[in-house]
Chain A
Amino acid sequence: MTTPSVTQPAAVAVPHDPERDLLRVENLRVAFGEPGAEQEVVHGVSFSLAPGECLAIVGESGSGKSVSARTLVGLTGGRSRVQADRLELDGESLLEMSDRRWRSIRGRKVGFILQDALVSLDQLRPVGKEIDEALRLHDWGGRPARRRRVRELLELVGVPEPEVRAKQRPYELSGGLRQRALIASAIAMDPQLIIADEPTTALDMTVQAQVLEQLEAAKRRGKALILISHDLAVVSKLADTVAVMAGGQILEYAPAERLFARPEHAYTRALIEAIPSADSRGRRLSPAQRRAPLGAVERRPESDGPVLSASELVKRFRGPDGVDRTVVDDVSFSLGQGETLGIVGESGSGKTTTARLALALLDPDGGEVSLAGEAWSGLPERSRRQRRREISVIYQDPLSSFDPRWSVEQILLDALGEEYAGAAAKRARAVELLELVGLEQEHLKRRPLQLSGGQRQRVAIARALAPQPQVIVCDEPVSALDVSIQAQVLDLLADLQKELGVSYLFISHDLGVIHHISDRVLVMCDGKVVEQGSADDVLVRPRHPYTQKLVASLPALERPAPPTEPLREVAA
């Protein structure tokens, strides 16, 4: 492919050979709602795709990326209206099709893969049946032939012992295996086009890598692949062409190499800038925000010892089968003042339990936690209560951490201590806190439900700051947010740390986020600490095999050179 010149409009930047194209979409528009009161959510999108190539459609929630892709399988939903100048698959128009014709396209000509197999495969049926169903629906072969084919398919996607696995249900399979089974069910009829809608979201890092591997294999077999994702890094390895969408439009449409090396649209640039990673350490991820200066909030006085430390923590839970499971096993760490300790691990690694132990919301079965050098976990709750103001918490889902009946004002006033005498002083302090996190007085009267996701997390941060804590435990605080909002929240946390000297115990499954924000890192696996040390030591030069595997599975983004010195490095 040739690199398009800069002056060309982004939307026509990718040259293609109409002879080869499997898929041609021109001026696609999708609207929802009752006739007369329709709301258009996709405003004239065009793209095309040849066999053996991968198009990535990237955008944040509400960008219209998923809806655009679903027009190709006719699954945009009951009250939608799809219009286009051209919507062609393999020379056949997909407009105005009957339900019967759609059914013959779905699965047979287009394979559609949705995120987590734990929710996108029927939990009550063996995976073999699900794959078989894809064949049966298109009258493929007799029962014995189908059985052989199911076996072949499972082998093709790298499932060992396919006969045994075919009889198991998704929840009985490991994350990687059930994800492979999901892919097998989508490619059963050997469709020419495969659409993967957020195929790696909510998956553990190592499983993500396996899924991408399988998609790449399909591409090598000559399939056309559409990859929908909010994550530029995930698509960077696979995509030949990238379409960046926002607000129902394609803002930039370019060959992947070009787009990552020299993003033209400001939105694309910001999106790339916003990705936290090793390279982004110490730099802002989002354009600077207007925020109130520090005001009356005091910086913590310097202190020497660790503000929070844990030694040899052990926690067991009894499973439903009556067997004890050690969820946290011999975990020790210490957190200094103004420092960020990142805890990274996959689901079930015990990181959230560790957070709750640190907060003394759970009592350990062994070991102890001390706060500011004094006993913490061993104390009775009565004596802990006064000291709870020294350590606060931010959750992944702020909405569920707010009483649904309360306004932002009630939430903040509730978190303030006795030191503010009188309602006026308390209110003034609440406003101050809001401004500190980049919100305004007008937000006081709102209920959390009336705020956006990013605003809710800011309120949660304001609440965590209200008691003027030494330590804030951040449990996956940005995992549910879009990349740009995540960038703003991470920047805010970094600013607050600089200004207030507060320490963070920062928990995340995302290596990039952890690398960006942490001074030191703790890697957890099956309840144990497998490696800890400075962020660069652990994540750039990992020693433990598990950490090495994690780091290797991290999809690295080909970054553009820093804008200040663009060409010199290339020349050198």
Chain B
Amino acid sequence: MSSLASPPNPTALGRQPSQPLLWLRRLRPGVALAGALVAFLLLATLVPALLTGKDPYAVDLSATLQAPSLEHIMGTDQSGRDLYARVIYGARESLLIGLGATALSMALAIALGVAAGLGNRWVDGIVSRGLEVMFAFPVLLLALLFVAVFGPSAATEILAVGIGTAPGYARMVRGQVLAVRDSGYVEAARALGHPYGSIVRRHIFPNAMRPLVVMFTLGVGQSIVWASGIAFLGLGVPPPAPEWGALLNAGRPYVTQAWWLEVMPGLVIVLFSLSLTTLGRHIQQRLEGGISR
């Protein structure tokens, strides 16, 4: 007898032999749909004219407040403008607001989270207290305060959503950094005599920041939801821009007669955010399955 316990079968643990396009066949339908929708909206931000022949600003008083039909798949608004065209043309600004807010929020979160995670007890204490204060300002109220002071604009939206969502992410980053800092492999690297700077660069940063890819994906969807909520209240981009939140605000007075003015742009936002969540979770599973425990 050569060994008491049979070691696990190496081929079972190793990588599957790679086949071209195998990943496409293994893709789950939900993930594929989510990917398709995100790709479609990204295309809308770049060349909206490709996806609709209609002009988002063209007023047609003979066709106001029409319910969805083959001619106007999302219906028309009170001025007879095609809602689908407005949604497509509004994608760019909406996505930019979402990206901007998420980028601001992530930048703040990384700066604060890393400082708290790597700094000494004092830095950590100050940053953690600061985060607690930030938690006391919900996104929407921060937006209201900023609008009251600076007036409504896309920049105000970005600022409010970015600052308002930052503490949650910052706390996660801090937790990640702390977990990696106290991990066995960081101590092993110390025991090998590697300098602290190189440990931070080679172990702490890459491992602590890995979940941020997923967080960013989820965050963009969430930011768009928040920003459109602000715009819904009339505190966002002023009309007649076709930005999604602005569409929601414009449709508010007609909700009892023309539900599609609220439901359709909202549906696009929900589906987009849900798709990003699905993609983010998919990436997360792939990352966890591939590398970490």
Contacts and interface: CB of A to CB of B under 8 A. Distances in A.
Are A and B in contact, CB atoms below 8 Å, in the complex? yes
Interface of A: 60, 62, 246-247, 266-267, 270-271, 274, 286-287, 359, 361, 384-389, 391-393, 395, 397, 399-405, 414-415, 446-447, 449-452, 454-455, 463, 467, 482-485, 487-488
A405 to B, nearest CB: 6
19 contacts: A247-B6, A286-B4, A385-B194, A385-B195, A386-B193, A387-B193, A395-B184, A400-B185, A401-B184, A403-B185, A403-B202, A404-B185, A404-B292, A405-B206, A414-B189, A415-B192, A449-B293, A463-B188, A467-B193
A60 B4 CA distance: 9
Given A361-B187, A388-B193, A452-B8, 8 more contacts: A287-B2, A287-B3, A392-B191, A403-B185, A405-B291, A446-B14, A467-B193, A485-B4
Contacts of B207: 403-405
Nearest to A382: B195
A414 B185 contact: no
Contact of A401 (B185, B292, B293): B185
A454 B7 CA distance: 9
B187 A401 contact: yes
B293 A359 contact: no
Contacts of A361: 187, 190-191
A274 B3 CA distance: 11
Contacts of B194: 385, 414
B203 interface: yes
Interface in B178-209: 183-185, 187-195, 202-203, 206-207
Given A400-B184, A400-B185, A404-B207, A388 B4 contact: no
A74 B33 CA distance: 42
Given A401-B184, A402-B185, A389 B193 contact: yes
A404 B291 contact: yes
Contacts of A414: 189, 192, 194
A385 B193 contact: yes
B13 interface: yes
Interface in B278-293: 291-293
Contact of A484 (B5, B14, B184, B187): B5
Contacts of A484: 3-5
A400 to B, nearest CB: 4
B55 to A, nearest CB: 51
Nearest to A400: B184
Contacts of A452: 7-8
B24 interface: no
B148 interface: no
B22 interface: no
Contacts of B291: 404-405, 447, 449
Given A388-B193, A452-B8, A267 B184 contact: no
B1 A270 contact: yes
Indicate the size class of the contact surface on chain B. Answer: 20 to 34
A296 to B, nearest CB: 21
A60 B185 CA distance: 28
Contacts of B188: 393, 395, 401-402, 463
Contacts, number: 94
A60 B5 contact: yes
A467 B1 contact: no
Nearest to A395: B184
Contacts of B203: 403
Nearest first, the 3 closest Cβ-Cβ pairs linking A and B are: A484-B4, A388-B193, A400-B184
B4 A270 contact: yes
Contact of B191 (A388, A399, A446): A388
A397 B5 contact: no
Nearest to B13: A450
A263 to B, nearest CB: 13
A259 B7 CA distance: 26
B1 A267 contact: yes
Contacts of A404: 185, 207, 291-293
B90 to A, nearest CB: 40
A93 B214 CA distance: 52
Given A399-B293, A405-B207, A447-B291, A274 B193 contact: no
Nearest to A447: B291
B192 A392 contact: yes
B128 to A, nearest CB: 17
A485 B3 CA distance: 9
Nearest to A384: B193
Nearest to B185: A403
Contacts of A384: 193
A455 B184 contact: no
Interface string B1-44: 11111111010011000000000000000000000000000000
Contacts of B13: 449-451
A123 B3 CA distance: 40
B169 to A, nearest CB: 22
Interface string B40-76: 0000000000000000000000000000000000000
Nearest to A290: B2
A400 B14 contact: no
Contacts of A266: 1
B3 to A, nearest CB: 7
Contact of B4 (A267, A393, A395, A401): A267
Nearest to B15: A450
A305 B195 CA distance: 30
Given A388-B192, A447-B291, A467-B192, A485 B184 contact: no
A374 to B, nearest CB: 16
Contacts of A399: 293
Contacts of B6: 247
A197 to B, nearest CB: 20
Contacts of B293: 399, 404, 449
A450 B1 contact: no
A485 B184 CA distance: 22
Most A-side CB within 10 Å, residue of B2, B5, B183: B5
B20 to A, nearest CB: 22
B283 to A, nearest CB: 16
Contacts of B185: 400-404
A484 B3 CA distance: 8
Contacts of A286: 4
Given A385-B193, A403-B185, A449-B293, A455 B7 contact: yes
Contacts of A60: 4-5
Most A-side CB within 10 Å, residue of B13, B184, B193, B292: B193
Contacts of B10: 450
Contacts of A389: 192-193
A414 B14 CA distance: 23
Nearest to B193: A388
